[in-house]
A and B are shown apart, each in its own frame.
Chain A
Amino acid sequence: MIPFLTQINLKSEFLKNTLKVLLISAFVITAIQLFVAPHKINSKWKVDNDNFRYNREQNLLIKQLAYFRAIETASKYDSIYLIISIPDSLVSIGINGVKFYGTKIQSYQMDKFLTGINSTTVLNQFQKPLKSKETFSSIVKEPIKVKIAPKNAEEAARMMTLPDSVIFEHAELTYLTENGIVLTLKAREDKSWFVNKWSNSISQLSDILVKALNITLATGQFKIYDYQPEIQLTLDNIALTSIYRALPKEPIIVISY
């Protein structure tokens, strides 16, 4: 049966209103999620009965104490670990308490949450090395080349190749730590301003989409979404590749800021 014209209008008006209500609800829910999520992670991180606000000098001392304690704990692990010191502008690696390689941080971006939390929370979270639970990388860990043994000396002579240079691909690493930090280390790209802006926009857009998806999923489960504070560092490509290849697959990380 064909509906009357007035009925269609009514329906479309109803749909319009429903859509408006849905959009406003989505906006309100997203806003609530974005407001509450930092509080959720902060309540996980902070110490319950030790929530002081100190002066600037004391804040620096407490942050330094967190760093020193973490470095000392890391020195007891029998594997190479990563040290990120924003105040020194240095990313280095060490083992058994000896820092043997480092590189300057060329630029960095720090999540506002990390600078917004108080010093006792920083001490509570960063006085021990952070354990990474997942690693993503744009380069291989070991550049293995398989060679089949030659059958005789002539074949060996034909197979003989020696490199005349070493090629370093653009490196970008992401470590997800157990306490929820997303640490991204990437090499500086010598591309044009436009290409850089374009790739930054694409990566920001994908970040927003991932965040939107997480918020939607959490809302569907009537939960507050897990806020993941981010730290992004830009380093020299060869140094970053060297650091990545030196570290174990899931390294421990000391962060000071």
Chain B
Amino acid sequence: MRTFYKMPIRYIFLIIALPISFYLVNVAGISTLGLSEYIPNGTKSDSLTKTVTAELTLIDGRMKNLVPKSAYLAINSTANEFYLFEGGTVTRHEKCSTGSYVLLKNGDLQQWMFKTPKGEFKILNKKRKPVWKKPDWAFIEEGLPVPSINHSSRFEYGVLGDYSLSLGDGYLIHGTIYQRFIGLPVTHGCIRLNDENLELVYKKLAVGSKVYLF
């Protein structure tokens, strides 16, 4: 009867004591790491403080120079949000629409991935009243025959809003007639803003302004 009670208590003790002792041994190992260190003398210690402070100031200056002086834009293609920065601080943070991540396959030979690229970009040009020249995928996606390169059906007026800002490779920041989808990943890779934000971004960003897509 005595043995019956004795055994579980011994095991319970072991189960609790083992991890604790291992933990303590590990902590002891870590706390003995600094035993080989020594304290530098006063002169060496003071010159170190000065040297480090000077280098910190230098690096800080160089890093500040890398931040754009003019307004720039950051676009979060996961949360479908944009951040307009002016003087290094966010002055507008609102919803936008970015790529849908749809991979459109047309047979075995043709495919298009509708995603917003990632990285650092620049505004290459700005347009008022842009006209959308529909690429081949826009017809294929709608189940329509692809017209010739300059066919009139390729040109759509008003669908990109009042302004567009080009990032290169066909990627634009533009407006939309489908404003209810702002905030959702529904585009073919471009960035869609509502009318008010588009106008603001158009006015604030100059050609050459940085755009960070992520």
* Complex: A246 Cα to B76 Cα, angstroms: 8
When each residue 43-54 of chain B gets 1 if its CB lies under 8 Å from chain A and 0 otherwise, what string results? 001001100110
A98's partner among B45, B76, B210 (CB-CB below 8 A) is: B210
The stretch among B66-74, B147-155, B191-199 that forms the contact with chain A is B66-74
B38's partner among A51, A68, A150 (CB-CB below 8 A) is: A51
* Complex: A116 Cα to B212 Cα, angstroms: 38
With a CB–CB cut-off of 8 A, which chain B residues contact A201?
A: none
* Complex: A118 Cα to B38 Cα, angstroms: 11
A35 touches B26 (CB 8 A): yes
- Chain A residue at smallest Cβ distance from B57: A68
- Chain A residue at smallest Cβ distance from B110: A149
B119 touches A101 (CB 8 A): no
A100 contacts the other chain (CB 8 A): yes
* Complex: A57 Cα to B53 Cα, angstroms: 11
With a CB–CB cut-off of 8 A, which chain A residues contact B142?
A: 150, 153, 156
* Complex: A27 Cα to B212 Cα, angstroms: 54
Of residues 67 to 112 in A, which have CB atoms within 8 Å of B's CB atoms? 68-69, 71-72, 75, 79-80, 93, 95-98, 100-101, 112
The stretch among A6-14, A138-146, A176-184 that forms the contact with chain B is A138-146
* Complex: A208 Cα to B22 Cα, angstroms: 11
With a CB–CB cut-off of 8 A, which chain B residues contact A242?
A: 76, 78-79, 214
Q: A65-B55, A75-B66, A149-B140 are in contact. Are A96 and B29 (CB under 8 A)?
A: no
B202 contacts the other chain (CB 8 A): no
A173 contacts the other chain (CB 8 A): no
With a CB–CB cut-off of 8 A, which chain A residues contact B38?
A: 51-53
Q: Closest Cβ of chain B: how far from A181's Cβ, in Å?
A: 15
With a CB–CB cut-off of 8 A, which chain B residues contact A231?
A: none
A156 touches B141 (CB 8 A): yes
Q: Closest Cβ of chain A: how far from B171's Cβ, in Å?
A: 16
A147 touches B186 (CB 8 A): no
B184 contacts the other chain (CB 8 A): yes
B143 touches A153 (CB 8 A): yes
A5 contacts the other chain (CB 8 A): no
Q: A51-B38, A58-B45, A149-B105 are in contact. Are A68 and B30 (CB under 8 A)?
A: no
* Complex: A2 Cα to B74 Cα, angstroms: 83
Number of A-B contacts (CB under 8 A): 183
A68 touches B59 (CB 8 A): yes
A68 touches B60 (CB 8 A): yes
Q: Closest Cβ of chain A: how far from B167's Cβ, in Å?
A: 15
A228 contacts the other chain (CB 8 A): no
The stretch among B5-13, B96-104, B124-132, B157-165 that forms the contact with chain A is B96-104
A52 touches B184 (CB 8 A): no
A54 contacts the other chain (CB 8 A): yes
B37 contacts the other chain (CB 8 A): yes
B29 touches A65 (CB 8 A): no
Q: A101-B76, A156-B143 are in contact. Are A144 and B25 (CB under 8 A)?
A: no
Of residues 140 to 178 in A, which have CB atoms within 8 Å of B's CB atoms? 142-156, 162-166
* Complex: A113 Cα to B79 Cα, angstroms: 36
- Chain A residue at smallest Cβ distance from B183: A166
Known: A93-B214, A100-B72, A116-B33. 11 other contacts (CB 8 A): A37-B26, A53-B34, A53-B38, A95-B119, A98-B120, A117-B33, A149-B106, A150-B142, A245-B77, A246-B78, A246-B118
B residues near A (Cβ < 8 Å) are 18-19, 21-22, 25-34, 36-40, 45, 48-49, 52-53, 55-56, 59-60, 62-63, 66-68, 72, 74, 76-80, 83, 85, 100-107, 110, 113, 115, 118-120, 140-144, 181, 184-186, 210, 212, 214
Q: List 28 A-B pairs, Cβ < 8 Å.
A: A27-B18, A34-B25, A34-B29, A35-B29, A39-B29, A52-B37, A53-B39, A57-B49, A61-B56, A64-B56, A68-B56, A72-B63, A97-B63, A98-B72, A98-B210, A101-B214, A117-B33, A142-B115, A143-B101, A144-B113, A145-B100, A147-B103, A150-B143, A151-B143, A155-B143, A164-B184, A245-B78, A246-B76
8 closest residue pairs by CB, A with B: A97-B66, A246-B214, A156-B143, A150-B143, A35-B29, A100-B74, A149-B106, A53-B37
